[in-house]
Amino acid sequence: MGSVVIDERTIHYHAVGDPSARHGRRVLYVHGTGCNSRVWVPHMTAIAGAHTPVAIDLPGHGQSVGRGFRGVGDYTYFVVEVAKAIGWDRFVVVGHSLGGAVALMAALHHAELLDGLVLVDTGARLRVDPALLRGSRAAAEAGQAPRTDRAWGYAKATPQSVVDAVEALTRGTDPKVTYADWIADDAFDVMARVKDIRVPTLAVCGAADRLTPVKYHQFLAAQIPGCRLEIVEGAGHWMFWEKPDAFNRIVREFLDGLATARSPAQPTTRRT
């Protein structure tokens, strides 16, 4: 783990290898609602032989201090500043769910810093089911971890051991922070703006994702010039844990194929 101080907040990050190295692509990973950088470690370990991966603990998550935010723009600021603080002038940003919203905001406001964009089980608008919001608010008010229903996050065939592993990594998040994240999700909407993104983009999702369904990613692929879409069968919202080999291959292929010139590729859709 490393850390930097941004606006008097200590922000932690997890690096596999030396983040100052210029080894392949520099890749900054952003976790989703109520999560932390550790959810990315198995994937980062798998690609570290070819690229330089770092995952941030957003403010209020993991080892980073604070209460979190109710707006995606605030989180985006810290992601960009962490990249600058560790000496990265250009990088690829990978975001899951809320992290994907952060990645989209980074592409809209800081395109000059980005070599690529990987959007994982996310969307240009992230409306949250009212029942999920109510449950998260009740948990925050009671100071208790919210009850989880695996049907929201995982495909039916996903082993319970995968669900348990993810929950073990994320259960320590303050429920007030998680609720703030859900509010940030629910308020996020850049549907009218994603057509303006000019960064090489990969959208990848689980075919059984209920939180951010396939149609969200089809919209991204249709709107972002040259966006490549990968749909992974037998996976839900936690596709990179449910089908890690497929995810590692897809992301590695995208990173390896990024051209020096950042002209958008031809759009493609593929099911895996």
When pLDDT is averaged across residues 14-21 and rounded to a whole number, the result is 93
What are the structure tokens assigned to 121, written together? 């089980």
Among the residue ranges 122-126, 147-151, 221-225, 231-235, the one predicted with the least confidence is 147-151
Half-sphere CA count of 185, side-chain side, radius 13 A? 28
What are the structure tokens assigned to 156, written together? 């039916």
Does the structure show a pLDDT above 70 at 267?
no
- In this prediction, residue 272 carries a pLDDT of 82
- In this prediction, residue 154 carries a pLDDT of 96
Those residues with Cβ within 8 angstroms of residue 215's Cβ, 6 or more apart along the chain or in another chain:
none
- In this prediction, residue 261 carries a pLDDT of 39
User: Using one digit for the tens of pLDDT, what is the confidence trace for 142-164?
Assistant: 988 777 788 889 999 999 999 99
What's the pTM value of the predicted model, to 2 decimals?
A: 0.94
Does the structure show a pLDDT above 60 at 190?
yes
- In this prediction, residue 143 carries a pLDDT of 86
Does the structure show a pLDDT above 50 at 262?
no
What percent of the chain stands above pLDDT 90?
87
Domain locations along the chain: 2-271
Strand partners, 271: 231
Q: Domain 2-271 falls in which CATH fold?
A: Rossmann fold (3.40.50)
Model confidence band, residue 87 (pLDDT cutoffs 50, 70, 90): very high
